[in-house]
Amino acid sequence: MPEVPETPGADGAVGNGAGHHPHPGAAVPLDAPQFQVAAKNPRRVEGVVAVAFVASFLALAAFGAAYWQAASSWVLGVTLGIALGAFGFALVAWGKYLMPQGPFEEPRPQMATTQAEKDEFVADFATRGKIAIERRGFLVKLMGAAGAVLGVVVAFPLIRSLGPRPNQVQSLYHTKWRKGAKLTSIEGRAVKVDDIEVGGIITVFPPDDLGGAFSQTVLIRVQQTGNIVTQPGRETWGPNGYLAFSKVCTHAGCPVGLYEELTEQLLCPCHQSLFQLSDGAMPVFGPAPRPLPQLPLYVDSKGYLRAQADYDEPIGPGFWYRGGANNEYAQ
């Protein structure tokens, strides 16, 4: 019988009230079925395992060759996959069929500690601590205060240095559109009144903010002539059949790029909010809660389309300080 070191008491503590050991002192004969391998025909299983290892080896060699030859991705991946899979299969088959089938058991102590154990620990830990701070209450309070301030101060570089306060570097409430700004395509060409056909749509920006995430605007020619009035108070905003709206969806900020010409609606691709242009881009379907802000336009003497002013409300999705739609906002 080979020398086997004594096992330490197999965390022998059996907790309170748990079962005792199932077979005290029982002898287990060597040919007990638990020690036998699980396979009915181990020779056959060994053969299968051997084949799997060989397949893995060959696939790995194929992977190496494929890599050396800069083969395409799928060849590399399939050879690698077969190599890994065959290896794994062989290992599992070995473990499942060629090892003692068991089952085996070990005792499981209950996690709950006894009251006596708890009391002992608390006595040690808490009481030592209590004695340490006894009659030094003032020190404890000072420690607490210092600790609290330390915690707050440590957070500052970690959090506050991350970025500027909102509204400091870039306004939450205004875009870069100004009175007189020409509506300019991404290539930098200003739009003239005859450039867009009826049913046409183009993304425009102020000339000093091409590609701007917040000033992006869709310009749509809904009809050939005439002012379009979408809401009371907007009598001059839609000259020569043109309408311009903020391209930033008021729901979650995606660019609202889908224009349905016949229904005169803008659809946002992200969550399918639908805006009715003739009503001033009022949301008629989907989750968007507010209409797209409209950019007031005019046509200058040379025929260029220009903005009368910035949007009359903050564009895009809402935020805490925005207040309601068309609110009196800060600044």
Report the site for another protein in 183-242 (rule: CB under 8 A). Answer: 185-186, 189, 191, 195-203, 205, 211-214, 216, 220
Nearer to another protein (CB atom), residue 125 or residue 285:
285
Tell me how far, at minimum, the Cβ of 45 lies from another protein, in Å: 10
Nearer to another protein (CB atom), residue 36 or residue 227:
36
Tell me how far, at minimum, the Cβ of 43 lies from another protein, in Å: 5
The residue type of 276 is Q
Q: Which of 114, 127, 167, 236 binds another protein (CB under 8 A)?
A: 167
Residue 234 CA to residue 228 CA, distance in Å, equals 9
CA distances from 46 to 37, 52, 99 (A): 12, 10, 11
The residues in 34-63 that bind another protein, with binding defined as CB under 8 A, are 34-37, 40, 42-43, 46
Instruction: Decide: residue 211, CB within 10 A, 0-12 exposed, 13-18 middle, 19+ buried.
Output: exposed
Token digits for 239?
């000259």
Contact flag: residue 316 with another protein (CB under 8 A): yes
Q: Which of 53, 55, 85, 304 binds another protein (CB under 8 A)?
A: 85
* Cβ pair 263, 250 in contact under 8 A: no
Quick one: which of 222, 203, 221, 223 has its CA closest to 213? 203
Please, what's the b/e burial string for 87-118 (b: 16 or more CB within 10 A of its CB; e: otherwise)?
bebbeebbeebeeeeeeeeeeeeeeeeeeeee
Nearer to another protein (CB atom), residue 33 or residue 130:
33
Q: Which of 139, 142, 149, 170 binds another protein (CB under 8 A)?
A: 170
Nearer to another protein (CB atom), residue 134 or residue 197:
197
Contact flag: residue 175 with another protein (CB under 8 A): no
Tell me how far, at minimum, the Cβ of 245 lies from another protein, in Å: 13
Q: Is 282 helix (H, G, I), strand (E, B) or coil?
A: strand
Site string for another protein, 93-132 (x = CB under 8 A): xxxx--xxxxxxxxxxxxxx--------------------
Residue 245 CA to residue 295 CA, distance in Å, equals 6
Taking CB under 8 A as the binding criterion, the range among 77-85, 116-124, 139-147, 232-240 that sits at the site for another protein is 77-85
State the DSSP H helix or E strand holding residue 130, giving kind and residue range, or none if neither: helix 128-133
